[in-house]
Every structure is written in C-alpha cells, then in structure tokens.
Structure 1
Amino acid sequence: MDCANRSHWPLQLLLGWVNFAMTAPLIYLYLGLPMVMRQQGWSGTAIGLFQLAGLPAVLKFMLGAPVDRWARGAAGYRRWSLVLMAGYAASLVGLACLGIEQASFVPLFALAMLASLLGTWADAPVNALAIRCLPADDRLRAGTIRSAASSLGAVVGGGVMLMLHARAGWALPFWVLSGGLLLAALGLCLIPRATLAQSDAVQARQVGVGQWLAYFATAERRRWVVMLMLYFPFIGAAWVYLKPLLLDQGLPPEQVAMVAGVLGGVVGAIGSAFGGYLVRRNGLQRALPACALAGVVALGALAGAVASGAGMPGLVVCTLLLALVMGASAGLLFGMMMNHTRAGLTAVDYGLQSSLFVLTRTLVPMLAGLLLDRLGYPGMLAGLILCMLGVWAWSRTWVRTLNSSHAEPEMRGAA
C-alpha cells in the first residue's frame, strides 16, 4: 500500500470498509429506527426531533481541531481513529442494553447522541488519513467509494439490521454493528508504517478561531459552502421519511426493510459510482445540475405516486429512483470536500465542511417532520420539491462561476 509507487486500490478499499463500518450504525439510528419508532406509535414530530441526536456532527469542525493539533502525521491520525472507534463501539453496546419498549425518549436520545458524537469525531481522523495518503487525483474516487460505502451501510443499517431487529429483538443489531467497528479498527492497523511515513511532509498547524474563519476568506469557498449545505438535505429528508411512508402505505415492516434498506442501499451504491462516472465524462458543469434536476424528478415522482395512490409497484420504483439520485449526489459532494482542504489543516477543513453538511441534513428532516404532521406526505414532498428546484437553479449559477474562474479543468483532472 505504498502511497507513492503502487496502486492505491488496497488503501481505497480498506478506507471504504472503515467508512462502511462507521456509517452503518448511524444509518440504523437515524434512518432505520424511525420505522421502529413508527411501529411503537411515535409521531412524525417526535421522529423529527430524534434526528437532533445527530447534531454533534455539526461540531466536527471543533472536534477536528485537537486531531490536527496533536496527531502530528498520518500515524497520529490512525491512533486517534482507533481510540474513537473503540468508544463508538462501546456506545452501541450501551444502546444494546436499552429496550425501546421500556425506554423513554430522553435516555434513548442521550445514548444516540453519544454514539453520534463519537462516530462524528472518529470520522475526522479517518478521512484526514485518507487525504494524507491519497494524491489529489485519487480523492474524487475516494469520495465516490465513501459514498458507495455509505450506501452499502444503508443496506446493513437501514435494511439487514431492521430485519434482524424484527427476528431477534432490540439488542442484537447493536452488538453486530459494534463488532463491525472493532473489525474495521483492526483493519486500520494493517496500514504499513512506511505508507504512513510517506504522507507526513506537511506538518499540522495550531488551530484557532482565526483558522476556521479564514476558510471563508475567498469568494470561491463561500460559494462552495452554499452548494455544500443545500445540495443534499432535501433528498436526504425524503429518504428519512421514506420507511415510515411505506409503512403507512401498508407495506409490512420486513418488506420495507428489504425495499428501502437493502435494495435502496445497493441502488445508492450504484448511484455513487454513476455520479463519479458523470464527472469524469462530462465534468462538474453538467454533472452537478443534472443530479440536482434528477432530484426534482425523483421527489416529484414519489409525490405523484403517493397522491395518486399508485400502489406498491409504483412506490418501489420511486424508492429506487430516489436511492439512485441520493447516491450520485452524495458521491459528488464527498469527493469535492476532499479537494477543498488546506495543507496542514486537513482534519479541521474536512470537519468544518462535514459540520456544515450535517447542519442542514439534520435540520431539514426536523422541519419536514413538522410539515408531515400538518400537511401529510403530499404536502411535505411538495415543500421538498420547491426547495430542490432552488438547488438546481443555484447549481447552474455555481458551475458558471466555477467555469469563469477556470476551476473546472482542475476538478475534471481530479476525477
């Protein structure tokens, strides 16, 4: 796994596995458990409020600061990753000891927030390690692999674990997910020291408020931040409520897990690869607006199917279309995030971007839950469609600005 002279695929796949193991538990918590909560009689507002347990991810820019300050190289990033992943696994064990039938909202929320905090914190050194070890022209591919790993995490966290819950009860899914985290941590130990040492030419810098604010100093980064915060959350909100929607439409819980969790996750992984292919073939100028417009179409199709009572075949088709668009959109953003970091501030800059991404990804589902309780699924989806139309318009403006600043050839080269 020599970063300078050999193929980077072994390292790419290892990091993909680690991202998969870290993503699956969070997907189970925030995309899988809403169906369980709905079965227990929780309201749309309560499900939306539960999404706020993911708010520690908004603080990733702060969590990345001590990582960059004390990691002192790729080997340090690995040490941080191992410790935080162990804590993350322990928080899942705590959840395994809690039953949703007896637990009130507060303890479930608190343990979910702890898992979110540790999983979020671990994400910073893991992805900083990837950025340090991979050359710039491999980072968009790394983002695509990460998005595919997240989609496959949805197969496990949003599908297989729900089926396991239906058959074996509350605790076993959390034990399985914590075991996967420990195996991923062992995988990081396989990266040779020589590979880590070759990535340490850039030394970390001390981090303060000035360094965070300096990220927004250029107009190009400010425009990028708007794109980062708006591009994904409306598609993501529809996906959060998709399982409750299918459940309310009469689909049995295990079939919901199979369609939205397993099949949706596989299609999402395919979408991630397709998003990377679009950038390599056509560049960001066409790929970003095309995926945004596809999001409008996917949301519109789902709203039409619900409003017209199209039945299960139509809802399944709309589910897979939404998964395809979601995977492509996430793959584009994750790859671009890796190319918007500064030397010596890798974990901080990636964490800052992740915080902004998670902020809107968390708040939009909460607002969508309020719409759901007041206007039903058609009203909620109509609101998401209008917002996604605005994202499509902004993406067209952003890529025109990108072209005028001659950044497009650089990004195409990174693909």
Structure 2
Amino acid sequence: MTPAWRNGLRQALFGWLNLALTAPGVYLWLGLPLVLRQHGWSGTAIGLFQLASLPTVFKFLFAMPLDRRGPRRGAYRGWTVGLLLAYAAILCALGWRELLDERWTLFALAAAAALAGTWADVPVNALAIRILPASGRAWAGGIRSMALCLGAIAGGGFMLLAQSRWGWQAPFLIMAGALALGAALTLLVRDGGADPSGEPAPALAAPLRTYFRLDAARRWLPLLALLFPFIGSAWFYLKPLLLDQGLPADRVAWLAGVAGGAVGAAASAVSARGLKRLGPGIAVPVHAAAGFVALLCLAAAVGLHAPPAVLIACALGIAAAMGATAALAFGLMMSHARPGLQALDYGIQSSVFSLTRILAPLAAGLLLDAAGPAWMLAALAAASAGVLLLALRTAPGLRL
C-alpha cells in the first residue's frame, strides 16, 4: 500500500472516530435542547444544562496519564479503544429509560458522557497528530470540523428524528454502536504502543508551565479562546430560536440539523483548503470577519421579524461560519503541539477552547431570557467584532 493510500485511510478513520465522538455531544448539547424546549425548559435552564459538559474544560488533566513516565508513555491506541467503549456504555445507560422529567439524573449521566467523550478525544487526536504527516494537519483539522458538522446532521438531525419516531432509547443505542465500531477499527492502527522518540518523559508540571511561556502559544491561545464561542453560541441556540419564531419542530430538525450540518461540512472543506493556501495570517481574520457578518445578519433578521426564508438563509450562514471557524481552529491546534507531548499540548488547547465554548452559551441564555433573541444575537455580533480586531493584530505571527 502506498503512503498516500495509507494516509488517506488514516484520515478516513480519524474522521469516523471524530464523527462517532461528536454525534453524542451534538445530540446532548444541540439536539436535545429542542426536545427540552418542547417540554417547557426555559432558556436559562437549557443554558445551565450546558454545565454538564464542564469536564471538557479539564481535558489537559485527562491528558497527563497518557504522557506519563514509563515504558507505556504515549500508548494512545490502547487508551482510545478503552475510552471509546466506556463512552458507549454510558450512552447505553442514558438510553435505559426516558429522563425528561428526571433532571438531576439526566444531568449526572450527561456529565458522565461528557467526561468519557472528553477523555477519549485526547488520545484520538494525539494519535492523529503522531501518525499523520505535518503536511496533512490542515486537512486533518478540516476533516475533524467536517465530522463536527456531520455529527450535527447525525446528532442534531437524524437522531432527533430517530427519537421522534422510535423513542428515547434509539439515538443512544445507535451512537453507542458507532463508538464500538470505531474502537474495533482503531485496533487496526499501528501506533508503536509508546512514544517513538525513546526519550524519558519529563515531569508534566514543567512542560505544562512551559507551554504558556512559548511566544507562539501566547499569540495563539487568546485567539483560540475567542474565535469560536460567539458563532458557536448562535449555533447552539439556533434550533430553539427557530422554534420560537414559529417554525415546526420537524422542519427545524431538517433545516438546522441536516441542511445546516451539510453546509457546515462543506465550509469546513473550503476552510481547510484556504488555510493551506493563504496561511493563518490571512485565514484567521477572514474567518473572524465571516463570523461577525453571519451574526449581524441573523440579529437583523430576527429583530426585523424577517420572513422564514430570510431566517433560514441567515441560519445557513451561521452554519457555514461555524463549520469554517471550527476547521481553522482544529487545524491550527495540531500545529501548536510539541513532539512527544501531543496529548498534553492538545489537551491544554482543547481545555481553553472548551471553557469559552461553555461559558458563552450560558451567558447568551441569560441574555436571551432577559432581553430577547435579537439583543442576544446583537451582543454576540458585537463580541465577534472585537475578535476580528484581535485577529487583525495577532494572526500574522501564527504558524501552520
């Protein structure tokens, strides 16, 4: 088998793994809010439900055992298989019975699912950074973002339709099966079982501190923290917002879940190509500008009570900006991981990414209940304008 074919198959495997990891989270944090809204949950309650995903903030802690001292340091394949199966088991527990009226049980199991999914994400992407060539990292970021968008189709569209047609249990069993298949396919990957450098691992507190002192990290981490959460918040509340604007639930699932996910996936592919051709100095401000324009258009459409066709067009614009921005962020995250510490460095970046991704929707939910959807979207647009200014200032110093 030629190296090109081998790398292509590896990219396809990591695409499937990221899809299998993404779909449950999308269903819990983006699809399920539509069901919760139908059962009378307020915007604040839905925002607070996001706190169940807090384990994602501590991803750097979960990365530490993977890069620990010893002969099994960096044995990412074994960690991947075990954690994928644990995630599948928790999804089966979530689907054991309907939990819409058992809020604390739903919250606890959702938090356990977030923990398992967060932990599994670390070795999956550390393994990708290790075995994929550096020239393929922009595409790997694009493929991961495409998986996020296809996960939006699966978790935010098809799984909602499966729940509507076959009941509460069906989506969780389907997603657990996808994770189990991913675990089986991962066994076919040759990882080497440990860090190929052969060097002993340093105490992890030292490289953790050192990462934040790197000039590249100091330029990159503020952008990573702010690029996605505002466009991501609009994507998070898009389904409840369209539902509140009078669109029927099935139509919202198809438009925001399926069509929006497809648009986001296409935008991810375009973004990955643009990042390779333009470089981060140009690509980052362009993506920040796209997020600002998309948010401003949706805010205006909601504030002016635009007809459904305009709302749908603006919603698809949000999906495109979300998919493109996610591809950009994931591609650059791979470029800011040090050899031999892929899990730790990826975990640090992902923790920063996740913290703002959680806090922004919570603040947006409070603003939604206090001032309404138009003001919430206007505030997100204003914040994204600040991100654009930051990108124009700091992006030229980034590397790919």
With normalisation by structure 1, the TM-score equals 0.92
- Alignment of 1:147 with 2:145, yes or no, is yes
- Which residue in 2 is equivalent to 1:334? 330
Return the offset for 1:18: 0.7
Cα 1:264–1:72 shift into 2, 3 Å: farther
C-alpha separation in 2, matches of 1:354 and 1:71 = 25
Return the offset for 1:198: 10
- Alignment of 1:256 with 2:252, yes or no, is yes
- Which residue in 2 is equivalent to 1:134? 132
- Alignment of 1:288 with 2:284, yes or no, is yes
Deviations 1:192-243 (A, max 9, x none): x3x6479723546144322211111123211211011001000000011000
Identical positions, percent: 49
- Alignment of 1:390 with 2:386, yes or no, is yes
- The one-letter amino acid paired with 2:125 is N
Query: Would you say the 8 A contact 2:76–2:194 is kept in 1?
Result: no
C-alpha separation in 2, matches of 1:19 and 1:184 = 9
Return the offset for 1:157: 0.4
- Which residue in 2 is equivalent to 1:376? 372
Alignment equivalent of 1:298, drawn from 294, 297, 301: 294
Equivalent residue pairs, number = 400
C-alpha separation in 2, matches of 1:324 and 1:72 = 44
**Secondary structure, in 3 states, of the residue corresponding to 2:247?**
coil
- Which residue in 1 is equivalent to 2:57? 58
Query: Would you say the 8 A contact 1:75–1:196 is kept in 2?
Result: no
Query: Would you say the 8 A contact 2:260–2:319 is kept in 1?
Result: yes
**Secondary structure, in 3 states, of the residue corresponding to 2:75?**
helix
Cα 1:71–1:249 shift into 2, 3 Å: farther
Residue segments in structure 2 that go unaligned for 5+ positions in a row: none
Deviations 1:63-114 (A, max 9, x none): 00001116856982111011111110111111101313431x2111110000
- The one-letter amino acid paired with 1:182 is A
- Alignment of 1:185 with 2:183, yes or no, is yes
- Which residue in 2 is equivalent to 1:114? 112
Query: Would you say the 8 A contact 1:71–1:80 is kept in 2?
Result: no
Return the offset for 1:278: 1.5
Deviations 1:158-186 (A, max 9, x none): 10001111111211111111111101111
C-alpha separation in 1, matches of 2:135 and 2:216 = 20
- Which residue in 1 is equivalent to 2:226? 230
C-alpha separation in 2, matches of 1:325 and 1:178 = 29
With normalisation by structure 2, the TM-score equals 0.96
Cα 1:202–1:47 shift into 2, 3 Å: farther
Cα 1:364–1:336 shift into 2, 3 Å: same
- Which residue in 2 is equivalent to 1:269? 265
Cα 1:187–1:70 shift into 2, 3 Å: farther
**Secondary structure, in 3 states, of the residue corresponding to 2:212?**
coil
C-alpha separation in 2, matches of 1:34 and 1:100 = 13
C-alpha separation in 1, matches of 2:250 and 2:200 = 48
Query: Would you say the 8 A contact 2:100–2:106 is kept in 1?
Result: no
Query: Would you say the 8 A contact 1:74–1:129 is kept in 2?
Result: no
- The one-letter amino acid paired with 1:95 is L
- Which residue in 2 is equivalent to 1:323? 319
Alignment equivalent of 1:176, drawn from 174, 177, 202: 174
Cα 1:284–1:306 shift into 2, 3 Å: same
- The one-letter amino acid paired with 1:132 is R
C-alpha separation in 1, matches of 2:79 and 2:389 = 40
Which shifted more, 85-94 or 71-80?
A: 71-80
- Which residue in 2 is equivalent to 1:163? 161
CA RMSD of aligned residues (A): 1.8
Query: Would you say the 8 A contact 1:133–1:199 is kept in 2?
Result: no
C-alpha separation in 2, matches of 1:379 and 1:288 = 26
Residue segments in structure 1 that go unaligned for 5+ positions in a row: none
Query: Would you say the 8 A contact 1:144–1:332 is kept in 2?
Result: yes
Which shifted more, 245-254 or 357-366?
A: 245-254
Deviations 1:256-309 (A, max 9, x none): 110011111111111111111222232222211111111111011111111111
Structure 1 runs of 4+ with >4 Å offset? 4-7, 70-75
- Which residue in 2 is equivalent to 1:124? 122
Alignment equivalent of 2:241, drawn from 238, 245, 254: 245
**Secondary structure, in 3 states, of the residue corresponding to 1:303?**
helix
Return the offset for 1:127: 0.7
C-alpha separation in 1, matches of 2:126 and 2:194 = 14
Cα 1:71–1:309 shift into 2, 3 Å: farther
- Alignment of 1:221 with 2:220, yes or no, is no
